[in-house]
Structure 1
């Protein structure tokens, strides 16, 4: 029994210190000798993880470099990028002597080694990047796997602030099958180093630019087990100059022209035709530039709301111009304005738009009514009899009327002339009453025209302020 114990101890120590493969022995420092040793000791064991014990996890060090931003599809909610992906791991127990084998590093076919099944969780399409069939194998057992990857990944795109939007897309690297007890993901470099190198080698200079990259380690916990993952947050910023020049500036020009069209007098100029031409031009402009706007069913971009409000204001200004023109030409045929409309527009809105309230006329028509039997024709007319005239002139002595004499033709003619004057006065009163109604309607139209003009100015100023603030926020994003 005592003779067996040393042998058992020696065997146990040999098993503990003997790794996945033994140290390679090269017969000569030539490639043939090294590859023969690898084919004998390493390549047949590519089917299992290169660890000493099954309970030992293998550390996979990952590093990426962003070399291209090919495009962003807002409708499909995908981002297409090109990465350099570097995976590094160690084969337990593998080593060889540099002098004995003649080199410290050799490239071997990828199929001859165990390669971790690292994939991207957000992957949405097949990788059609060029294949690299070789990896580097060092004399310390370290494996270096570097390859390009074309990634079409899903990303939740927020386009509300288009074209001044910033997108935060994640790329999650982890094993597809192995749990965290088998494979642990470790990032090789800091986010600052990755960002600096990516900016140096970034080949594309299109619509999007790289704003920032951040790293976070995470664990995906499921019922069967947990998975070790490394998550990279790639922050992209859109270059808005193209959209500002092609969308915002022409739209601002058109709405400014429509704003100054309020200065055209509707009496002498056909303002409605001018506004109709502007609406037609703006509609054609939106149809031509529709391809530049992002298409997504989740969020409506703020720029689309701006275009809709601009078109709505143009249509409202056209309808208001039709109303004003109708008032200018046909207001004399209208009945009196409703009391509530007159109070709302002339008393309150006139103050808002800084228009002085129009004073009512105090004109009173005075005539002498020689016949007491004729009724008064208008409440605003004052009937003055002879006694009233007597009191006006200050004569207290009553004057007796002359005795009636025989009818004279001159007196009949005067009476006929008096009746004709009464008819003329009636027509004048109706004309002046219609003139007051027409002036009231015209004043209502002027107040509404001024109110829409002020709304136009407020809308333009608010839009300019909003666009400027969003643009400044977009450019001041800390990269």
Structure 2
């Protein structure tokens, strides 16, 4: 447009591209500021004076909504610079483009799945060790999180200037899942120990059987708990105990009868032999009676010896079962302790990340 006074107005359309340094410290809850400087190196400020049309900066009314970024504003500033070469000022106008990342996509596609994976790792501590899937569940969760982190690494900007907030959170969850696998190995090790392979040291007994159960509100079933059972449950337990006693009595009686039969047979042979040997001397009857009295006494002695052996064996089995149960209870205590620790760690890490972010969700 050429006016009558000779002034010309020329507004050429154009698309300006620029690069700026990105700070990914708060990714994906970050705001970015990019500067664009407009000025002339050919004409000084006395020949070309640039003024801001609006003190608020650029006009963003015609901005087309972007799926990843929101344009918060384009403030501008007029600058006058003096250089050593020239006394005239040089004018430029600098616009600061402030954009904010829209976090809805990253929240539901990165953070929520990571929290769910971490929750699965925590719930693995509620799985009984006898199921056989406790360790495989932890390893599977660790592998799935590793694959997920590879996908996340492709999404995050590749720069070493700063560690993104999301990367810090994922590393914490990765450390937690790996630690849960190590803890599961320790729990399974304690659970499958017995009296033949390991003796429980006094400090383990003190810590995991006395102190930690009190802190975690854990206890074994006691006699008071057994008395609080219902009548039907007590009857069922009594029937089971009677069946076990009957089986034990039958096996013990069978052993005693076998011993009695064997020794009666040996006694009769020795008695008949003694009678025939002393028949000629006239004292056979007396010797036969003496041998008959010695036979039952010897049988009772052997039966008592057999009963002592059986009693010692049962006592050793009970002691071994008690030691095995102590190891299993120690494993339960470690399992409960890890459940509480890793649950608190996951909650605190998630809350810390969300609270430290400048903003949570921008739709």
Equivalence map 1:90-101=2 (5 Å): none
The reply on whether 1:299 has 2:162 as its aligned counterpart is yes
The counterpart of 2:11, out of the listed 137, 146, 149, is 146
The counterpart of 2:35, out of the listed 161, 170, 174, is 170
The counterpart of 2:143, out of the listed 268, 280, 298, is 280
Higher relative contact order (CA 8 A, sep 6+): 2
**Change beyond 3 A, Cα 1:274–1:474:** closer
**Change beyond 3 A, Cα 1:140–1:255:** same
CA distance in 2, matches of 1:222, 1:444: 78
SS in 2 for 1:146: coil
SS in 1 for 2:70: strand
CA distance in 2, matches of 1:351, 1:180: 81
Aligned length: 292
1:320 aligns with: 183
**Change beyond 3 A, Cα 1:182–1:428:** farther
Q: Which runs of 5+ in 1 are unaligned?
A: 1-104, 107-137, 360-405
The reply on whether 1:203 has 2:68 as its aligned counterpart is no
2:246 aligns with: none
Equivalence map 1:72-83=2 (5 Å): none
Of Structure 1 and Structure 2, the greater helix share is in 2
Displacement after TM superposition at 1:237 (Å): 0.6
**Change beyond 3 A, Cα 1:445–1:183:** farther
**Change beyond 3 A, Cα 1:358–1:218:** farther
The reply on whether 1:445 has 2:331 as its aligned counterpart is yes
SS in 1 for 2:351: helix
The counterpart of 2:351, out of the listed 455, 465, 475, is 465
CA distance in 1, matches of 2:322, 2:155: 54
**Change beyond 3 A, Cα 1:412–1:265:** same
SS in 2 for 1:153: coil
Q: Which has the larger radius of gyration?
A: 1
CA distance in 2, matches of 1:274, 1:306: 22
1:247 aligns with: 110
The reply on whether 1:235 has 2:98 as its aligned counterpart is yes
160-169 or 432-441, which deviates more: 432-441
2:250 aligns with: none
CA distance in 2, matches of 1:279, 1:420: 56
Displacement after TM superposition at 1:268 (Å): 3.1
Equivalence map 1:352-363=2 (5 Å): 352-356=215-219
**Change beyond 3 A, Cα 1:339–1:282:** same
CA distance in 2, matches of 1:181, 1:349: 82
The reply on whether 1:216 has 2:77 as its aligned counterpart is yes
Equivalence map 1:59-70=2 (5 Å): none
Aligned 8 A contact 2:34 2:97 in 1? yes
Aligned-pair Cα RMSD in Å:
3.6
SS in 2 for 1:355: coil
